[in-house]
A and B are shown apart, each in its own frame.
Chain A
């Protein structure tokens, strides 16, 4: 499907034109429009394009490559993680440990669809883009007022996670906004109006496919993944031409017949092997490498039918963003039996490691270990157990491979820690160069895993039986891992009645912001772990916060329950 060349001088302002062209065309367009309406006939056409705040760019959405490449994040938060590193570390310093106690709510936005929201808002020059299920909204980021919305009914007939219609937000390029829908369509919307430009259905052949992620724009492509890894889909990462939606490449996370790794997938099991790709990856422009995590293998708990390591499930993939070719992979949990997806953000960190400057990936995995890898080649450098209860492995060997404890789910059940929800999960981590600490949320609990041979069935989960949380209450933590000392600086045990699902972000002034286990949005001192300020949002925060600035004023925003909240100093 194509978006043909545009015809009018006005609409020819597609994503990639020059500023000079944009100004000329806008002037021409305003002339066209304004000359033909009665009361505005006397107006100078220039009036329509003149900005009283010339020199600033508030209200203008035209995201260029240099905006996407900017790091760390400043006034604009232009992608799910703010920048390509996934560090979620903002240089904004208006809010500090000294004044954070004065933070106050600025506005609340309430979309009328699903709860809880899981999106991270994106902000470009004072315009916020946020999603709720299949709906996209543009908001005035200073007031929370809706500028446009694109509404699309939730899909019927989905199962498991996509049937919850969760959506983690948009990607932006030029004057366009991209989002995934619950039924795995990629939508291209006009950022100025919300008008639908194109719509590509990108997962077919298995009705258990869905999507919950935010897309990632890399150069001229929009990169997407799929959900449904517990339901017998075959995972993939796919790239589409940002201009016309044409598919450019697709990397299948489960190798087909004749491909390396296919020996784990007898018969047509490769069509149902999972390895979903349900979180956006990160990207290193210097290495021209895209880093993307994959989910657990399917069937989840009956590993007897998928012998070997089950490539490329529970992996970090290093892909060429131009071709989709695999450069290397690192598998955190070979032949996984406990639902340990590896889609947690692979954070790109340039830092000294054991005295030598390195290009690193730091990531806390659902399997209970924190990993440091060399991102130029995927070599394993370091692992540290952060889950306080962990019995599925006895350690990590010198190559980074876990030493299995041999706990195999069966009909009777076997208790394994961490539980199937993982010792951490998709909620975002953050690396702050100001403190040299890697911050992330973790959760300690165990589950009894059972397995029973089960055939794949369209419209049904492919867990091959289930996992039930054990009776002891779980414990949540916000953790600060010191990259210099290679040990934890502090671990803040969460107090509250809820299991938290809020990610973290940090700022150059040393703050860490997150949603806690008691329905509070919290800002703490990232050096000490001491909470500085909180606001009770009255609903569980199931999303990761972000920070932005408009006209010099710094805000924090977070989706909480069924609302988006924004905070700033008075």
Chain B
């Protein structure tokens, strides 16, 4: 069980909606290790989603973003005068993995190119039509309160993300870094199956959400078998279903969405 870990939905919300497309495989493994270490050592104070908690500040934006890798590494390794304990004992590999994960918390992508300023590459209005129409993004993702619920809201997704990174996330969703977005199939006694997204699991319970929105609160002892996939619900064929121009339009729509009036942003981090 240990390898499966327990992942919160919030952590999913703090990260990319479809895993970490720009990562090479090794990098993704490292980020996964970092995420696990984060939950073990950091989440208690900084919050399970990195947005700050009872004892620690947010790590999900500035000021963490303004520090270099070396500076962050030193802080995590040595602690701070402000009361954060040192974590040298967790070892170099874990420290490095944690830094990679902190970068993900900041902006969902550790690719430095993602930070390069860049304007919208297409037509946001056309992108909106695609988003709610042919491309069916809204089946799972809300923007400004409109759309589905199986995946995170994308209202602020494009904040701190460059067009290229957004496009890459759509075309190549990769594997879900956050296990609570994973699709699994559960076989019940009698052979009936249930396919949905695994929101929680431990040795005792499974919480599965089917695409009708229903949560299935299952005891592991009452389940015959769990077949795990390494995929989220995110379609994997947008690179062929949509033209480059259409992709650019959707990217542009997402880049324009967060600034839209109507959803109050003053406390949204």
| Chain A residues engaging chain B, CB cutoff 8 angstroms | 1-4, 6-11, 13, 22-23, 26-27, 29-30, 32-34, 36-40, 43, 47-53, 58-61, 112-113, 126-127, 134, 140-143, 145-149, 151-153, 155, 175, 181, 185, 188, 190, 192-201, 550
Contact = CB atoms under 8 A, between A and B. Distances in A.
B145 A134 contact: no
Contact of B139 (A11, A58, A149, A201): A11
Given A112-B47, A148-B9, A149-B8, A30 B212 contact: yes
Nearest to A22: B212
A51 B217 contact: no
B135 to A, nearest CB: 10
B139 A59 contact: no
B235 interface: yes
A16 to B, nearest CB: 15
Interface stretch (B70-78, B110-118, B226-234, B247-255): B226-234
Contact of A50 (B138, B146, B192): B192
A30 B200 contact: no
A52 B145 contact: no
Contacts of B10: 146, 148-149, 151
A140 B205 contact: yes
Contacts of B202: 145
Contact of A198 (B145, B212, B214): B145
Contacts of A50: 192-194
Interface stretch (B48-56, B82-90, B94-102): B48-56
A147 B207 contact: yes
A51 B263 contact: no
Contact of A7 (B8, B133, B150, B200): B133
B46 to A, nearest CB: 9
Interface string B123-141: 0000000001100101110
Interface string B184-212: 01001010111110011010110101111
B172 interface: no
A153 B52 contact: yes
Q: Which 8 A-B pairs have the closest CB atoms?
A: A26-B212, A7-B132, A36-B235, A193-B149, A59-B215, A192-B213, A197-B145, A199-B264
13 contacts: A1-B262, A3-B145, A37-B234, A48-B211, A48-B212, A112-B44, A145-B207, A149-B8, A149-B10, A181-B267, A196-B153, A196-B155, A199-B263
B195 to A, nearest CB: 5
B161 interface: no
B162 interface: no
Contact of A152 (B47, B229, B267): B267
B163 interface: no
Nearest to A33: B233
B263 A59 contact: no
B269 interface: yes
A11 B147 contact: yes
Nearest to B140: A33
A36 to B, nearest CB: 3
Contact of A195 (B136, B153, B183, B264): B153
Contacts of A146: 8-10, 200
A49 B211 CA distance: 7
B121 interface: no
Given A36-B236, A48-B195, A149-B8, A8 B47 contact: no
Nearest to B216: A59
A47 B211 contact: no
Contact of A188 (B52, B145, B217, B236): B145
A488 B130 CA distance: 67
B153 A13 contact: no
Given A8-B132, A49-B211, A190-B149, A40 B229 contact: yes
Contacts of A8: 132, 136, 138-139, 147-148
Measured as residues with beta carbon below 8 angstroms from the partner, the interface class of chain B is 35 or more
B267 A153 contact: yes
Contacts of B213: 13, 26, 60-61, 175, 192-193
B144 to A, nearest CB: 8
Contacts of B188: 52
Contacts of A40: 183, 185, 195, 229, 231
Contacts of B92: none
Contacts of B139: 8-11, 29, 32-33
Nearest to A143: B205
B142 interface: yes
Contact of A142 (B142, B194, B217): B217
B1 interface: no
A51 B264 CA distance: 37
A149 B49 CA distance: 10
Given A33-B211, A51-B216, A143 B138 contact: no
B36 interface: no
B93 interface: no
Contacts of A185: 264
Contact of A155 (B53, B145, B212, B267): B267
A7 B267 contact: no
A91 B269 CA distance: 43
A446 B137 CA distance: 62
A193 B197 CA distance: 12
Interface string B38-74: 0000001001110111100000000000000000000
A198 B196 contact: no
Contact of A37 (B142, B148, B183, B193): B183
B145 A196 contact: yes
Given A11-B142, A37-B229, A29 B148 contact: yes
A181 B264 CA distance: 12
A48 B236 contact: no
A48 B210 contact: yes
Interface in B146-172: 146-153, 155
Contacts of B262: 1-2, 198
B24 interface: no
A329 to B, nearest CB: 34
Nearest to B208: A59
A254 B46 CA distance: 43
A2 B233 CA distance: 29
B244 to A, nearest CB: 19
A34 to B, nearest CB: 7
B142 A197 contact: yes
Contacts of A22: 212
Contact of B263 (A37, A38, A134, A196): A196
B256 to A, nearest CB: 16
A142 B9 contact: no
Contacts of B148: 8, 10-11, 29
Nearest to A13: B213
Contacts of A192: 149-150, 209, 213, 215
A29 B209 CA distance: 13
Contacts of B48: 112, 149
A26 B53 contact: no
A282 B268 CA distance: 32
A533 B9 CA distance: 36
Contacts of A49: 210-212, 214
Contacts of A39: 183, 229-231
A555 B193 CA distance: 29
Nearest to A37: B231
A194 B215 CA distance: 13
